[in-house]
Amino acid sequence: MSTEATTPPVFCAAHLLGSWDERHPQGAFVELAGQDAPVRPDGTLVVARREEMAEFLRHPAVRATDGVHYNMGAQRPLIPLDLDGDLHRKYRRLLDPLFTPKRVARLEETIRARTNALIDEFADKGEAELMSDLCATLPTHIFIDLLGLPTDDLPIFLEFKEAVVRPQGATLDEKQATMRAAGERMYAYLAKVLDERRAQPPCDDLIGGFLTVEVDGDRLCDAEIVDICYLLVIAGLDTVTCSLSCMFAWFAEHPDERRQVIADPALLGKAIEELMRFESPVPVGHRWVTEDIEVAGRRFPAGSMVEVVWAAANVDPAAFPDPMTVDFARPHNAHVGFAAGPHRCLGSNLARLELRVALEEFHTRIPEYEITPGEQVLYTNYGVRAAIHLPISFPATVMSGEAHDA
Ligand code: HEM
């Protein structure tokens, strides 16, 4: 992969600032959080401060879609992201119990085994490109285990995720056509999976859960299950891939802090939260306002689309003193890396588990690593922030994950 800098499309207000830096965008986000009532040149209102954001997102007139366009090539509202109010609450009541820390903990050993199998592929080489060798595939493997699907179907998910998150095409219309085509393939695939699963005895995986769970006394129909799974593919794969890549890149460039976390494993949970704050892998979200409202002294007219910049709120000095310092001991780290308000991330417990286990296993087997001399980490911040080229070097080891466990 070329390490040449590219000019990415403008995707959020911070990108328009002179202080924008693709490798270290945090400075531009601090600047954005410092502006009073920021507005993009096209008139889009921007919410960037942590406290204003919390109040804005709680307002009942604030919606997650305009009711016409759905996210990521979907033909119907994604459940629960494209729904609001009572209907949204109904689906969250159903889904939340399937993603509690206790429920996702069942996957811990599988995640460990999957991580080690991927590390086995490169541990004896002394170098790796961590994005493709580990970060890109691990969450997809785990997702397939979570749903209870065959590993052979992995490429179907990788292809779909790429097509909807980074659609090919020269124009917006072409990109949307790519997303729609990938969406249609995913709808057809999921419908076939459900047909097969209904013909088999019930299983204790997520699809098994969807087939048996009841909302207000009703079972979910196939279209609802497909609309939930479609969202989970989009929401749960690239986000973990990108977060993991940012964390490995950060640890590769901060050996002292890495050694500190390895020496005191109890620090890792806090380190992950602090890096979620600082890196903010999902930088921005959008909301629509259904009636004239006032929030924190600011007017939001009915019909406006609002850019909610999680990454700016995460470095708002009013909420996070000294925001540019990564401090694992930061008290009250109420970051919005997993969003806030009614649509806060459903999969945050699973994401935290995946990040922790992947970092633990990697650091146990490869505690010393650095960015390969002469190479540079290449970041993208378009859609989701990621270290898309992450070449590392380390002392080669022949110990496999299995040998290590013994
Ligand atoms: C580190 C990884 C992750 C990050 C940074 C992340 C971040 C986010 C953010 C910012 C939102 C809010 C989107 C918006 O309102 O515009 C969100 C929502 C959501 N996430 Fe995650 N996410 C991660 C992992 C996951 C995983 C692993 C899953 C499930 C397998 C998941 C499922 C969802 C769902 C279903 C929603 C929609 C919730 C709703 O609308 O009520 N996420 N996530």
pLDDT in tens, 281-297: 999 999 999 999 999 99
Average pLDDT of span 170-192:
87
Per-residue pLDDT at 21 = 94
144 lines ligand 1 (CB under 6 A): no
Q: What is the SS3 assignment for 395?
A: coil
pLDDT band of residue 2 (cuts 50, 70, 90) is very low
Please give the biggest Cα pair distance in the chain: 64
Bond preceding residue 8 cis, omega within 30 of 0: no
> Does residue 2 lie in a domain region?
no
Ligand 1 atom, smallest distance to 281 CA: 5
* Per-residue pLDDT tens digits for 229-245: 888 988 888 899 999 99
Residue 6, pLDDT score: 46
CATH of residue 53's domain is 1.10.630.10
**pLDDT score for 283:** 96
C-alpha 274 – ligand 1 centre gap (Å): 18
Percent above pLDDT 70 for the chain: 95
**Per-residue confidence (pLDDT) for residue 8, from 0 to 100:** 54
Give the residue among 387, 345, 398 at the shortest CA–CA distance from 80: 345
Distance from the CA of 259 to the center of ligand 1, in angstroms?
30
pLDDT at 187: 86
Res. 5: pLDDT tops 70: no
**pLDDT of residue 71 exceeding 70:** no
Q: Indicate the top mutation candidate among 107, 250, 348, 349 to test ligand 1's pocket, ranked by most ligand atoms within 8 A of CB.
A: 348
- 1 in any annotated domain: no
CB 314 within 8 A of CB 301: no
Residue 302 lies in a domain: yes
Q: Which helix (H) or strand (E) holds 289?
A: strand 285-289
Distance CA 241, CA 385 (A): 10
Given this model, what pLDDT does residue 222 score?
Answer: 87
C-beta of residue 304 within 8 angstroms of C-beta of residue 288: yes
Ligand 1 pocket, mutate which of 86, 345, 385 (most atoms under 8 A from CB): 345
What spacing in Å lies between the alpha carbon of 404 and ligand 1's midpoint? 33
Has residue 5 been placed in a domain? no
Query: In this predicted structure, what is the pLDDT of residue 36?
Result: 95
Sign of the torsion formed by the C-alpha atoms of 106, 109, 114 and 115: positive
pLDDT tens digits, residue range 198-208? 898 888 888 98
Q: Which two tokens stand for residue 346?
A: 């459903």
pLDDT for res 402: 55
pLDDT digits (tens, 9 = 90+) for 338-371: 999 999 999 999 999 999 999 999 999 999 999 9
Q: What is the CA(399)–ligand 1 centre distance, in A?
A: 35
**Dihedral of the CA atoms 248, 250, 256, 258 (nearest 10)?**
-30
Q: Percentage of the chain with pLDDT > 90?
A: 67
How far does residue 348's CA lie from ligand 1's centre (Å)? 7
Torsion angles phi and psi, residue 375, rounded to 5:
-105, 165
Structural domain that includes position 213: 13-405
214's enclosing H/E stretch is strand 214-215
Does residue 141 form part of some domain?
Answer: yes
131 C-alpha to ligand 1 centroid (Å) = 20
398 C-alpha to ligand 1 centroid (Å): 37
Query: Token match 């502006």: residue?
Result: 35
Residue 404 has pLDDT above 70, yes or no: no
User: How many domains are contained in the chain?
Assistant: 1
Q: Which of 239, 248, 250, 349 for a ligand 1 pocket mutation test, highest count of atoms within 8 Å of Cβ?
A: 239
The answer, yes or no, to whether any atom of ligand 1 lies below 6 A from the CB of 122, is: no
* pLDDT at 117 exceeding the cut of 70: yes
d(CA 366, CA 131): 16
From 232, 338, 349, the mutation candidate for ligand 1 (largest count of ligand atoms within 8 A of CB) is 338
Strand ranges inside 43-90, DSSP E: 45-47, 62-63
Identify the pLDDT of residue 11. 83
pLDDT: which is higher, 393 or 234: 393
Ligand 1 neighbourhood includes 330 CB (under 6 angstroms): no
pLDDT, position 1: 36
Per-residue model confidence (pLDDT) at position 151: 85
Calculate mean pLDDT across residues 301-310: 96
Q: Is the CB of 341 under 6 A from ligand 1?
A: no
C-alpha span between 199 and 206 (Å, rounded): 16
List the residue whose alpha carbon is closest to atom 3 of ligand 1.
Answer: 239
Q: What is the pLDDT of residue 214?
A: 80
Q: Which of 373, 111, 113 is closest to 244 using CA atoms?
A: 111
- Does residue 8 lie in a domain region? no
Query: Averaged over 259-273, what is the pLDDT?
Result: 97
355 CA: nearest ligand 1 atom: 1
Find, among 404, 357, 359, the residue nearest to 108 by Cα: 357
Residue 379 has pLDDT above 70, yes or no: yes
pLDDT > 70? residue 3: no
Lowest-confidence range among 30-39, 66-75, 302-311, 366-375?
A: 66-75
pLDDT of 401 strictly over 60: no
Does residue 351 line the site of ligand 1, with CB under 6 A? yes
CB of 338 shorter than 6 A to ligand 1: yes
The reply to whether 258 falls in a domain is yes
pLDDT digits (tens, 9 = 90+) for 84-110: 999 999 999 999 988 999 999 999 999
Tell me which H or E stretch contains 259: helix 255-263
DSSP β-ladder status, 391-393 and 127-129: antiparallel
Domain-embedded: residue 195: yes
Residue 329 has pLDDT above 50, yes or no: yes
Q: How many angstroms separate the alpha carbon of residue 336 from the centre of ligand 1?
A: 11
CA of 101 to the centre of ligand 1 (A): 15
- Beta partners for residue 305, in sequence order: 288
* CA gap 261, 148 in Å, rounded: 33
pLDDT of residue 4: 39
- The overall average pLDDT reported for the chain is 91
